[in-house]
Amino acid sequence: MSAAKLSVAELRAAYGQAQVLFDVSLEIAAGEAVALLGRNGAGKSTTFRAILGLIARRSGRIVFDGEDVSRLPAYEIARRGLGYVPEDRRIFSDLTVEENLQVGRQPPRSNAPTWTLERLFAIFPNLRELRGRAGARISGGEQQMLTIARTLMGNPSLLLLDEPSEGLAPRIVEQMIEAIREMKREGLSLFVSEQNLAFARLVAERVYVIEKGKIRFAGTMSEFDARPDVRDAYLAF
Amino acid sequence: MSFYFVQFVTGLASASSLFLVASGLSIIFGVTRVVNFAHGAFYMLGAYIGYTLIDRLGAGVGFWPAIGLSAFAVAAIGTLIEMLLLRRIYDAPELFQLLATFAVALVVEDLALLIWGPSDLLGPRAPGFKGAIDLLGQPFPTYDLLLIALAPLVLALIWLIFRRTTWGVLVRAATQDREMVAALGVNQKWLFTSVFALGVFLAGLGGALELPRQAANHTMDLQVITEALVVVVIGGLGSVPGTFLAAIIVSELNAFGILVFPKISIVLVFLVMAIVLIVRPWGLLGRAEAAARTASGAIISRWRPFGAPGRIAAALAVAFAALLPIAAGNYFVGVATEVLIFMLYAASLHFLLAGGGLASFGHAAYFGLGSYGAAIALKSFGLGMETAIVAGIVLGLVGALVFGWFCVRLSGVYFAMLTLAFAQIAWSIAYQWTDVTGGDNGIIGVWPSAWAASPARFYWLTLALSAGSIALLRAITFSPFGYALRALRDSTLRAETIGIERRRVQWMGFVIAGGFAALAGALYAFLKGSVFPDNISISLSIDGLVMVLLGGVGTVSGGVVGAAIYRSLSIWVISHTDYSRLVLGALIIVLVVMFPKGLVGAFEAWRSARTGARLQGQSP
Ligand SMILES: Nc1ncnc2c1ncn2[C@@H]1O[C@H](COP(=O)(O)OP(=O)(O)OP(=O)(O)O)[C@@H](O)[C@H]1O
Ligand SMILES: [Mg+2]
C-alpha cells in the first residue's frame, strides 16, 4: 500500500461522558474501496463523524493526503477533498434538488474526478426531472441519490459513504451499486459502511470489522470470507 | 370614518419601520439561533449615528446617503461584535448568546448616553418629504407614505437575495442543518457573520429612517426590542413574510389599541401573541422547529446529589452566613438579605431552565405575583406577615398553574416567548388595576411582623427560608420526578416512549418553580416594605436568566452562585458609578468569553480535568 489516502491512528470519540470509539486505527490507499462492517450501534457512523471532525470530543491522529487534519474544523477537512454522505440523508428539505446540489459545490481538484450537474444527472437520471422539486417532496431512494450527488458536487477525492443501501428497494440498490462502480472507475477512493454484506462484496476490496467501538478484523475481502468465525462473532446477518 | 382610515394608514407606516427591525432579528435567529437582544440597541444606534451623520455630512453628501451610511456604520459595529464576541460562544449552551447580546445592549445604552448626552435629539425632516397630503380630509405626512412603500420593497429584496443568490441558498441550507453545511465544506463562520451584518444593517436602517418621525432617544431600544420580538414570534421565527404580516398586525393593534386602552396598548399585543401561539404554536407562517440536535458535551459532569463533603460545605456556608449580622451593619445586612432572596429566585428558575430545559423569559411573573399576593393579603385583608407570605406563594402557584398549562404546550423559543407574554400580561394587570394594586404608585407599608422587623432578624428569616427552599429544590431535582423532568429535557421522544407524560411533568415543574419564585417575591416585598409593577418587569425576568446562565446551565444549582455574584456586583456597581450598565455589561461580556460554561460549570470542568476524566484507551 503506497501513499495512504487516509490514515487514522488511535481514534477515540465520546458523546458527552460515554466513550464510543476506542483506539480505532485504519488506512485507505488512493483508489481503494474499503468497507466498514458492523452491527447496529457498533460505531460505524461515529467513526465517520469523528474522522470529519463532527464530534466535539475526540482524540487521535487523522492524516488525509499526507496532512494532519485532526485539529481542523469539519469544513476545512471537507474542503481538502474528504466527502461525507451521512446515513440519515439530511437533505435540505426546504431547498430544491438543484439548490441542494448547489450547496455542495466546490472548485475542481487535480487529484479527484470533477463532477458537473450534467454528469451527475447521467448517473442519477431521476434527479434530472426533479431538479426544481423541493427536497422534502422526493422519495427516500431519490433522497439517497441526492445526498450522494450533493457530496460529489464538492469533487472529493475520498468519499465516506454511511450505509448507502439502508432502507432502499432492491431496484434502487442496484442503481446505487452501478453509481458506486462508476465513481470507482473515475478513480474516487471509497470508504463505505455497511451491514449488508452482499452489498459490501459488490463494491469493496478490503474490509474492516468494527464492534463496540474497536476494530476487530482487517483484511481483504477473500481473507474475510475465509474467517466465518469473525462474521459470526461480530456481524449478525 | 376618515379618522379611522388615517389611523390605519399611520399604523401601516409604523409597521414598515417595525418590519425592518424585526426582519433583521428574524433572519439572525433563523440562521444562528441567536435571540439577539442587542437588536434594539443597534436600532437606537442607527438613529443616533444617523443624527450625527446628517448633522455633519448632510450638507455635503445629502440626507439619503447619510441615512445609508448610518446603516452601514451600524452594520460594521455589529460585524465587529459578532466576530469578537459571538463567534467565541456559538458552541456554548443555547441562550448563552442571549446573555452576551444582553450585555452588549447594556453597554451600548450607556455608551449612547456618554456620547450623545441624555436629551432627545430631533433630526431634520427628509428633503422632498416634509409636507403632508390630504387623505380623506385629514392631513397625512408624505414621509409616512414613503415608509409604507419601503417595506414591501425591502421584503421583495430580501426574498430575491435568499432565493436567487448562492449566498442565499447557503444561508437557507444553514438555517436547516448547520452541521451538514459544514460537512459540505462551507465555512459557517463567514455565513454567520454576513447574516448578522445583514440583520444589524436592517436594524440600523430602521433606526435611521425613524429620525424624521421621532427624536432619537434612550428608550427606543427597549421599546423596539420587545415589539420586534413579538412580531418575529407571531410571524414565525425565521419567516420574513411572516414577520411582514405580523408587523402590520402588531402596528395596527397599537394604532387602534391606543384609542381603546391608552395606557396598556402594548399588552393587547402580548395578548394577541399568546393567542396566536396557543392556536398556532409556531407562529403564523413559521414551521415546527427541527428537533434541536443536542450539542454533545454540553453537560460537563453527571449530576449527583451532594455527598458528605458537599453537605458539610453547604451547612458550613449557611452557618457562616448566619453569623453575618454580628459582624456587619444594617445596610450590609439588608444587601445580604436581598442577595439571598435573589439566590432563591435564581434557584427556582435554574430548576426549570437547567433541570427541565424550559427557558422561561417571564419568570418575574411569579416573583411579582408572590410580592403582590403578600402585599395585598397584608394591606387589604389585614393578615399577618406569616399568612401573607403563604398567600403570596399561593397566588404564585395559581398563576403558574394557569400560565404553565398553556406554556408547556410549546417548546424552545416559542415557550420562552409565551412565558414572556404572560409576564407582560401580569405586569399590565398590576399596572392597570389601580384599585387593588395601586397601579404605578404600588403598595407601600408592607412591613414584617414585629418579631422579624429588625434587619438582622429578617435576614435570618430569609436565610432559613432561602436555604431550606434551595435544599428542597435540589432534593426535588434528584427525586424520581426530577429524573423524569431531566429525561424529557435530554430526549423528549425517548422519555415519552418509556411512559413519561411530558406535559404533566413539565407543567408540575413549572408550578414548582413558580411557587419558589413567589416565595422570593413575597420576601422581597417585606424587605423593601413596598411592591411596584417593577417586580414583574421584563428586566427582572432577564436578570433571572443572567444569573442562571452566569452560574452555568450545565450544573445542578449554579444559578445560586450566579445570583450571589451578579446581584452583589450590580448593587455595588450601581452605588459606585453612574454608568452601571456599562460596567455590568462589560463584566458580563468578559465572563461570557472566559467562562462559556458559566462560573460553576467552569469550576466543574476544571475539577473533572484534574481528576483525569479523559478519554480512556480501554473499553469500560
Ligand atoms: N448522539 C449520540 N449521543 C449519545 N450516544 C450516541 C449518539 N450517537 C450514537 N451513540 C451511541 O454510540 C454507539 C455507536 O453508534 P453509531 O451510530 O456510531 O453506530 P452505527 O454502527 O453507525 O450503528 P447503525 O448501524 O445503527 O447506524 C451506540 O452505542 C450509540 O448508542
Ligand atoms: Mg450508523
Contact B49, B231 (CB under 8 A): no
- Inter-chain touch B172–A151, beta carbons under 8 Å: no
Nearest bound ligand to CA A20? 1
CA distance B122 to chain A (A): 45
**pLDDT above 60 (res B300):** no
Q: Which helix (H) or strand (E) holds A106?
A: none
pLDDT for res B340: 97
pLDDT tens-place string over residues A110-125: 999 999 999 999 999 9
Least confident of A13-22, B287-296, B383-392: B287-296
Side chain identity at residue A168, one-letter code: L
**Cα A200 to ligand 2 centre (Å):** 15
CA distance B280 to chain A (A): 20
pLDDT for res B290: 55
- Inter-chain touch B182–A15, beta carbons under 8 Å: no
**pLDDT above 60 (res B147):** yes
**Residues of chain A contacting B91 with CB distance shorter than 8 Å:** 56
CB of A55 within 8 Å of any CB in chain B?
yes
Give the three-state DSSP class for B239. coil
The Cα–Cα gap between B141 and B135 comes to: 10
Torsion, Cα of B498, B502, B508, B510 (10° steps): 130
Of A16, A84, A99, the CB nearest to B183: A84
For atom 7 of ligand 1, which residue has the closest CA? A15
Distances (CA, A) of B574 to B390, B548, B567, B577, B579: 32, 21, 10, 6, 8
Confidence at B538, pLDDT banded by 50, 70, 90 = confident
**Residues of chain A contacting B615 with CB distance shorter than 8 Å:** 12-14, 19, 57-59
Of A12, A151, A214, the CB nearest to B615: A12
Task: Identify the closest residue of chain B to A49 by CA–CA distance.
Answer: B183
Confidence at B568, pLDDT banded by 50, 70, 90 = very high
pLDDT for res B417: 82
Confidence at B611, pLDDT banded by 50, 70, 90 = low
* Higher-confidence position of B525 and B281: B525
pLDDT for res B301: 59
> CATH top-level class for B2-279?
mainly alpha
pLDDT average, residue stretch A91-105: 95
φ/ψ (deg, to 5) at B134: -95, 120
Torsion, Cα of B312, B318, B321, B322 (10° steps): -120
Counting one residue from A and one from B, how many pairs have CB atoms under 8 Å apart? 97
pLDDT tens-place string over residues B189-207: 899 999 999 999 999 999 9
- Inter-chain touch A78–B172, beta carbons under 8 Å: no
Stretch 65-84 of chain A: residues touching chain B, C-beta under 8 Å: 73-76, 78-79, 84
State the cell numbers at B58: 448632510
pLDDT for res B434: 87
* Higher-confidence position of A49 and B494: A49
pLDDT for res B601: 80
Of A13, A103, A212, the CB nearest to B181: A103
CB within 8 Å of A166: residues ≥ 6 apart: A87, A195, A196
State the cell numbers at B73: 456604520
Percent of chain A whose pLDDT exceeds 90 = 78
CB of A136 within 8 Å of any CB in chain B?
no
- Burial pattern A148-168, b for ≥16 Cβ within 10 A else e, equals bbbbbbbbbbbbbbbbbbbeb
pLDDT tens-place string over residues A39-91: 999 999 999 999 999 987 788 999 999 999 999 999 999 999 999 999 988 99
Q: How far is CA B487 from the centre of its chain?
A: 26
**Residues of chain A contacting B188 with CB distance shorter than 8 Å:** 75
- Inter-chain touch B183–A150, beta carbons under 8 Å: no
Please state the ipTM of this predicted complex. Answer: 0.94
pLDDT tens-place string over residues B91-121: 777 677 888 998 999 999 999 999 999 999 9
Ligand 1 atom nearest the C-alpha of A87 is: 27
pLDDT for res B616: 52
Candidates B410, B427, B414; CA nearest to B229 is B414
pLDDT tens-place string over residues B460-471: 999 999 999 999
Instruction: Supply the pTM of this predicted model.
Output: 0.86
The Cα–Cα gap between B431 and B117 comes to: 30
Q: What is the 3-state secondary structure (H, E, C) of B572-585?
A: HHHHHCCCHHHHHH
**pLDDT above 70 (res B615):** no
**pLDDT above 50 (res A1):** no
- Inter-chain touch B177–A16, beta carbons under 8 Å: no
Give the residues surrounding ligand 1 with Cβ less than 6 Å away.
A 15, 18, 20, 38, 40-46, 87, 195
**Residue owning grid cell 448568546:** B97
CA distance B181 to chain A (A): 7
Contact A48, A17 (CB under 8 A): no
Percent of chain B whose pLDDT exceeds 70 = 95
**pLDDT above 80 (res B618):** no
Candidates B195, B248, B235; CA nearest to B414 is B235
For atom 2 of ligand 1, which residue has the closest CA? A15
For atom 25 of ligand 1, which residue has the closest CA? A40
Least confident of B64-68, B286-290, B356-360, B442-446: B286-290
Contact A98, A174 (CB under 8 A): no
Domain-wise residue ranges, chain B: 2-279, 308-545, 580-620
The Cα–Cα gap between B12 and B16 comes to: 6
Candidates B513, B551, B519; CA nearest to B355 is B513
- Kindly report the length of chain A: 237
**Cα B619 to ligand 1 centre (Å):** 16
In angstroms and rounded to an integer, the radius of gyration of the C-alpha atoms of chain A is 17
Give the three-state DSSP class for B447. coil
pLDDT for res B490: 83
The Cα–Cα gap between B137 and B134 comes to: 6
**pLDDT above 50 (res B617):** no
**Residues of chain B contacting A10 with CB distance shorter than 8 Å:** 617
Return the DSSP state at A96. B
Contact B447, B380 (CB under 8 A): no
Angle at B594 between CA B593 and CA B598, to 5 degrees: 90
- Inter-chain touch A54–B183, beta carbons under 8 Å: yes
**pLDDT above 90 (res B129):** no
- B323 class by beta-carbon count within 10 Å (0-12 exposed, 13-18 middle, 19+ buried): exposed
pLDDT tens-place string over residues A201-217: 999 999 999 999 999 99
CB of A184 within 8 Å of any CB in chain B?
no
Ligand 1 atom nearest the C-alpha of A44 is: 21
CB of A61 within 8 Å of any CB in chain B?
no
Q: Which helix (H) or strand (E) holds B141?
A: strand B138-141
Torsion, Cα of A139, A142, A144, A150 (10° steps): -130
Averaged pLDDT of chain B:
89
Confidence at B292, pLDDT banded by 50, 70, 90 = very low
In angstroms and rounded to an integer, the radius of gyration of the C-alpha atoms of chain B is 25
CB within 8 Å of B473: residues ≥ 6 apart: B347, B348, B350, B351, B512, B516, B557
φ/ψ (deg, to 5) at A155: 50, 55
